[in-house]
C-alpha cells in the first residue's frame, strides 16, 4: 500500500471517529440543553403566577376568582406567533394549585381538582421549602409523552407556605426545535467531515506526489540516468537537496575511480609502444629504422594527447545533469561552423565535404559549443573511414518534431559484431589502410551531448556501403 493511501486512510479514520464522537456529543446535548432552557422559563412563570394567585388562595376563591378566570381565558387566546419558522396558536401550559396538604384546589384542565398530589415531587419538595420539579410520562408506554412540571410556593403575609402552584408543559412542545437542531448538527457535521476528508485527500495526494517525485529521481540516479532534481517544497525540498548532494559526491567519487581505471588501461598500449621504440632508438639503427621508430613515438604520443583531451571533454559532458544556460541556436550555422573547422582535415585526407541544409528550420535551444563539437566528431569519424577521393555528406533536415544532422560516408560500414558497442567508451574499430584505432571517445561524446539536449545519437549502415551517423534534436515547443 502506498504511503499516500496509508496517510489518507489514517487521516480518514481519525477525522471520521472524531467527527462522529463530536456529532454524538452535540446531538446528545441538544435535547437536555433545550429542556434546561424551558425549565428555566417555567421557573420564572411559576413564580410570577404564584404571586398572582396568592390573594385568591388566601380568600378561598382560587377556583372561582379573577386568577382562575384569567387562566381559563388564556386557553381561548390565539397567539398567532411564529417562532423561528414554527407556528404557535394556543397555550400548552397546564396550571394547577394545591393547598398546604397537597390537595388540588385549582386545575386549568379541570380534571384533577380534589386529588391528592402531595406525593408528587413538585408539590412534595416545594411544601418543604425546596425546589420542586418533575418530568412524568402522560402515557406510560410512550417515552416521548413526558411532561415537565415546575412548582413555586404560595406564601401568606407571614411567609408561611400555604400552597403550591405548578406549571406543566409537555416536552413534545419543544420536540420540533430539538429535531431541527439535531438535523442541523448532523448536516453541518457531514459538511465538515466531507471538507476535512477533501483536505485530507489533497494533503495525501500532495505528500504522495512529493515522495513519488523523489522516489523516481532516486530510481533514475540508481539506474545511472541523467536525472533532474524535482521541484519539491518544505522538508521534501531539503530532502531532495540532501539526495542531490549525496548523488553528486558519490557520482564524483565513482566517476573518478572508473575513469582512472579505464584511462590507465587504455594508456598501456601506446605507452608500451613508446617505451619499446625508445629502447630501440637507444641502440645502433640505420636511418630508415630510426625515422620509423621516431614516427611511432610521435603517433602514439598524439594518440595519448587526443585520448586525454577527449576524455576531459567527455567527462565534462557526462558529469552535467542539465544545460545551465541554453540559448536559441540555428542548427544550420552550427553545421556550417563544424564543416569549416573540419575542412583542413578533409583536404589532408583527399576528401570532399557536401553540405545539404533544409530551409525554414526553426532554431533549437542548446549549447552551441557542445553541438558544434558533436558534429565535428561525426565528420572526423567519417573522414577516418572514407577512402581517398570520396565525398562525406552532411545533411540537416526536419523529421517530424525533430531536426536531424546526418553524416554519411562510403567506408566499410559497421560490422554486425560492433553495432551494439559503437557508443561504448574506448571502443573503436581499426581504420582502413593502416589499421590504427582512435581513442574511442568521440561517439560517446556525441551521445552524451545529444542526451543533454533531449535528443539521441545513432550509427548504422547505409545502402550501397558506408555508414550514416545521426544527431537528432527535439524542436522547441
- Give me the pLDDT at residue 101, please: 94
pLDDT band at 219 (very low <50, low <70, confident <90, very high): confident
Q: Does pLDDT of 82 surpass 80?
A: no
Helix (H) or strand (E) holding 51: helix 3-58
Residue predicted with more confidence, 377 or 61: 61
Cβ neighbours around 57 below 10 Å, total: 26
Q: Does pLDDT of 254 surpass 50?
A: no
H helix runs in 174-233, sequence order: 175-222
Percent of the chain at pLDDT above 90? Answer: 21
Interval 366-377: pLDDT, tens: 888 788 888 888
- Give me the pLDDT at residue 252, please: 46
List CB contacts of 305: < 8 A, sequence separation 6 or more: none
Cell numbers 573547422: residue: 341
Q: Does pLDDT of 78 surpass 50?
A: yes
**Lowest mean pLDDT across 90-104, 206-220, 265-279, 415-429:** 265-279
- Give me the pLDDT at residue 173, please: 77
Sign of dihedral through CA atoms 70, 72, 77, 83? positive
Residue 326 C-alpha from the chain's centroid: 30
Residue 100 · residue 118 · CB < 8 Å: no
| 313-320 mean pLDDT | 55
Going along the chain from its start, the domains and CATH numbers come out as: 3-180 (3.30.450.20), 226-322 (1.10.287.130), 325-477 (3.30.565.10)
- The DSSP code for 115 is -
Cell of 227: 536525472
List 210's β-bridge partners, or say none: none
Helix (H, G, I), strand (E, B) or coil at 435: coil
- Give me the pLDDT at residue 434, please: 59
Interval 147-187: pLDDT, tens: 999 999 999 989 999 999 999 998 877 667 667 776 777 78
Strand order across the 104-107 sheet: 104-107, 94-99, 161-170, 146-155, 133-137
Cβ neighbours around 87 below 10 Å, total: 9
Helix (H, G, I), strand (E, B) or coil at 161: strand
Q: Among 144, 143, 138, 140, which residue's Cα sits nearest to residue 168?
A: 138
Interval 359-414: pLDDT, tens: 888 888 888 878 888 888 888 888 888 888 889 999 999 888 889 999 999 888 88
- Give me the pLDDT at residue 253, please: 47
Residue 2 · residue 208 · CB < 8 Å: yes
Question: How many Å apart are CA 275 and CA 281, to the nearest integer?
Answer: 10
H helix runs in 59-151, sequence order: 66-74, 121-127
Residue 45 · residue 167 · CB < 8 Å: yes
pTM > 0.95: yes or no = no
pLDDT band at 313 (very low <50, low <70, confident <90, very high): low
Cell of 178: 430539538
Sign of dihedral through CA atoms 249, 323, 241, 9? negative
Residue 9 · residue 172 · CB < 8 Å: no
Amino acid at each position: 500500500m502506498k504511503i499516500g493511501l496509508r496517510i489518507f486512510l489514517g487521516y480518514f479514520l481519525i477525522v471520521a471517529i472524531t467527527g462522529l464522537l463530536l456529532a454524538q456529543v452535540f446531538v446528545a446535548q441538544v435535547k437536555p440543553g433545550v429542556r434546561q432552557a424551558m425549565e428555566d422559563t417555567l421557573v420564572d412563570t411559576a413564580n410570577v403566577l404564584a404571586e398572582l394567585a396568592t390573594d385568591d388562595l388566601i380568600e378561598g376563591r382560587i377556583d372561582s376568582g379573577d386568577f382562575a378566570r384569567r387562566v381559563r381565558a388564556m386557553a381561548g387566546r390565539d397567539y398567532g406567533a411564529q417562532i423561528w419558522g414554527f407556528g404557535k396558536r394556543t397555550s400548552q401550559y397546564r396550571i394547577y394549585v394545591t393547598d398546604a396538604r397537597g390537595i388540588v384546589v385549582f386545575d386549568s384542565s379541570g380534571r384533577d381538582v380534589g386529588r391528592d398530589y402531595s406525593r408528587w415531587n413538585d408539590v412534595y419538595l416545594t411544601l418543604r421549602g425546596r425546589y420542586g420539579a418533575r418530568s412524568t410520562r402522560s402515557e406510560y408506554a410512550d417515552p416521548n409523552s413526558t411532561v415537565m412540571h415546575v412548582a413555586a410556593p404560595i406564601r401568606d403575609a407571614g411567609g408561611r407556605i400555604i400552597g403550591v402552584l405548578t406549571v406543566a408543559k409537555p416536552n413534545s412542545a419543544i420536540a420540533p426545535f430539538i429535531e431541527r437542531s439535531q438535523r442541523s448538527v448532523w448536516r453541518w457535521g457531514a459538511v465538515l467531515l466531507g471538507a476535512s476528508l477533501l483536505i485530507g485527500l489533497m494533503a495525501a495526494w500532495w505528500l504522495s506526489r512529493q515522495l513519488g517525485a523523489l522516489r523516481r529521481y532516486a530510481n533514475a540516479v540508481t539506474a545511472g540516468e541523467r536525472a533532474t532534481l524535482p521541484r519539491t517544497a518544505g522538508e521534501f525540498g531539503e530532502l531532495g537537496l540532501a539526495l542531490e548532494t549525496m548523488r553528486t559526491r558519490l557520482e564524483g567519487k565513482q566517476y573518478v575511480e572508473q575513469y582512472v581505471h579505464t584511462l590507465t588501461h587504455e594508456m598501456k598500449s601506446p605507452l608500451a609502444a613508446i617505451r619499446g621504440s625508445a629502447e630501440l632508438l637507444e641502440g645502433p639503427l640505420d636511418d630508415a629504422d630510426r625515422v620509423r621508430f621516431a614516427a611511432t613515438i610521435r603517433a602514439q604520443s598524439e594518440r595519448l594527447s587526443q585520448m586525454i583531451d577527449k576524455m576531459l571533454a567527455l567527462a565534462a559532458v557526462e558529469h552535467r545533469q542539465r544545460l545551465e544556460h541554453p540559448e536559441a541556436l540555428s542548427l544550420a550555422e552550427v553545421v556550417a561552423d563544424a564543416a569549416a573547422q573540419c575542412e583542413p582535415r578533409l583536404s589532408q585526407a583527399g576528401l570532399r565535404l557536401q553540405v545539404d541544409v533544409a530551409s525554414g528550420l526553426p532554431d533549437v535551444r542548446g549549447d552551441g559549443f557542445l553541438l558544434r563539437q558533436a558534429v565535428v566528431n561525426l565528420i572526423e569519424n567519417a573522414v577516418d573511414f572514407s577512402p581517398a577521393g570520396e565525398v562525406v555528406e552532411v545533411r540537416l533536415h526536419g523529421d517530424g518534431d525533430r531536426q536531424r544532422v546526418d553524416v554519411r560516408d562510403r567506408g566499410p560500414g559497421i560490422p554486425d559484431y560492433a553495432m551494439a558497442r559503437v557508443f561504448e567508451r574506448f571502443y573503436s574499430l581499426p581504420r582502413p589502410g593502416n589499421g590504427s584505432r582512435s581513442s574511442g571517445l568521440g561517439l560517446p561524446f556525441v551521445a552524451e551531448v545529444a542526451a543533454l539536449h533531449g535528443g539521441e545519437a545513432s550509427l548504422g549502415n547505409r545502402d550501397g556501403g558506408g555508414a550514416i551517423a545521426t544527431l537528432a534534436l527535439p524542436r522547441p515547443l
